[in-house]
Amino acid sequence: MSSEAVSLTELTKTYGTVRAVHGLNLDIPSGQTVALLGPNGAGKSTTIGMMLGLVEPDSGRAAIFGGPAEQALRDGRMGAMPQEGGLPSRVTVQELLRFVAGTYRAPLPLEDVLAAARLTGEAGRRVDRLSGGQAQRVRFALALVGDPDLLILDEPTAALDVEARRRFWEGMRRFAARGKTVLFSTHYLEEADEHADRIVVVDRGRVVADGTSREIKRVAALTTVSLTVSGDSTTWLRELPGVTSVELRGGRAHLRCTDSDATVAAIAAAGAIRDLEVAPADLEDAFVALTAGSAATPALEGTSL
């Protein structure tokens, strides 16, 4: 049996003139929790589709536990929660889960699935009468019911409020603690920072960074140096060593730097130190730096992308 839960080799997929995935390589060992990040249009969902066997690659290979996705699904070793997808109407939550559980050789007990997805109180309700967040939890329960070794989640918390997201990740940590493998894509960077063992950043269909959250931040090599300035001229600040960008906000200049030591030394030499602060890059800074050339990079909203 393969020790790699996921192995993607030179995956390529083109839609018309758009190359969604371009020679992508990725290996995920069993037992890891991996966040897949990237701007809109970076190729995340297409890559996940090829992992699941729903999208046929133009070239390359996607292997799940060493074999095709179809085999892993039949064996109950892989569960998936798509970003979107319809649910059958006129059936209750427990009827749907019981039916799907019957297709697996060793499903989880229904009460455990309902509890993990926080659906115990909705077990007798019709699926087509649930709220958007409740329907999203049903999709999670469907992915979980077969007790898979690998769980693939595409934007799993997109329809959930803050409290529901918190409880979702509590359940996910319990699932991962059993030695399971989790791959999730998200636009909420704090989720990746807090819950992933490893972060993979994709842009223009390629992996542009791969490592722990701390390693990703170090790869971006950006630090923010801020100081109080007088006047509106930023020309001299832009000419300082290590500075990549300057932003003025409320009488303070915020400098993005690749070498903060050199930047601070130059500011000191100019006798311009006033209320100076130095802050290391966070994951949002690293993400923006790594994908800055992508026209598809979405606007920032709080800590979400």
pLDDT grade for 1, boundaries at 50, 70 and 90: low
Q: Are strands 78-81 and 243-249 parallel, antiparallel or unpaired?
A: unpaired
Q: What is the pTM of this model?
A: 0.79
Helix (H) or strand (E) holding 46: helix 44-51
Structural domains in the chain, sorted by start: 4-211 (3.40.50.300), 223-280 (3.30.70)
Question: Which range among 21-30, 80-89, 154-163 has the greatest average pLDDT?
Answer: 21-30
Q: Where are the alpha helices (DSSP H) in 102-212?
A: 110-116, 132-144, 162-176, 189-195
Give the tens place of pLDDT for each residue, 15-72: 999 999 999 999 999 999 999 999 989 999 999 999 999 999 999 999 999 999 999 9
Give the three-state DSSP class for 173: helix
